[in-house]
Structure 1
């Protein structure tokens, strides 16, 4: 399944956010893959971030990562940079962007 998300950075935090993503901990990358993610891409337009995840089960991915210490530490770091953060709560799985149109259904 593919999930699209929108998050937003605090003003002026764009370069810090990009720098952080050049050094995502290998342990976190391995955990994301183990939780069922096949791909995760983030695009930035000013402070707006657009994520597309390809995963087996988004709700299960969130549950697997929510309390994992390496993810908790990463999310705390990201929270300092974001106005609108990725939601790892049990209701977060329902907060993906709705599909409006696809070339290949």
Structure 2
């Protein structure tokens, strides 16, 4: 299983509305995300900055599968009114994941 972090930024003034949208994400979206191999997705917010932790089988494969899914396409279109952009990282999975620096549980001795 892969665990990775993403960073996105909200359009100014949409912070509260974004949180309302995520109070209960569409159940059909969760279904297609699970079918794509995404097991969990957590989002934290600091001001306009969003930090995502994604746990999945294969993020690049999941992104490719979801790109052709009508439910995910509808969700992405809907959320585009709130999300300004995702940070790009040419070295990251699917060009988005943040560079991993350290994990306490992975440090030995």
Q: TM-score, normalised by structure 2?
A: 0.86
* Aligned equivalent of 1:79: 80
* Aligned equivalent of 1:44: 45
- In the alignment, structure 2 segments of 5+ residues that lack a partner are none
Q: Which runs of at least 4 in structure 1 moved beyond 4 Å after TM superposition?
A: none
Structure-2 change in CA distance of 1:86 and 1:78 (3 Å):
farther
- In the alignment, structure 1 segments of 5+ residues that lack a partner are none
- 1:79/1:85 contact within 8 Å kept: no
Structure-2 change in CA distance of 1:79 and 1:86 (3 Å):
farther
Q: TM-score, normalised by structure 1?
A: 0.89
Q: CA RMSD of the aligned region, Å?
A: 1.8
Count of residues paired in the alignment: 102
- 1:13/1:81 contact within 8 Å kept: yes
- 2:10/2:84 contact within 8 Å kept: yes
- 2:6/2:86 contact within 8 Å kept: no
* Aligned equivalent of 1:95: 96
2: CA distance, partners of 1:93 / 1:5? 11
Deviation sequence 1:23-79 (CA, Å, 0-9, x none)? 311111000011111111000001000000000000011011112111111101111
Offset of residue 94 of structure 1: 2.9
2: CA distance, partners of 1:47 / 1:6? 11
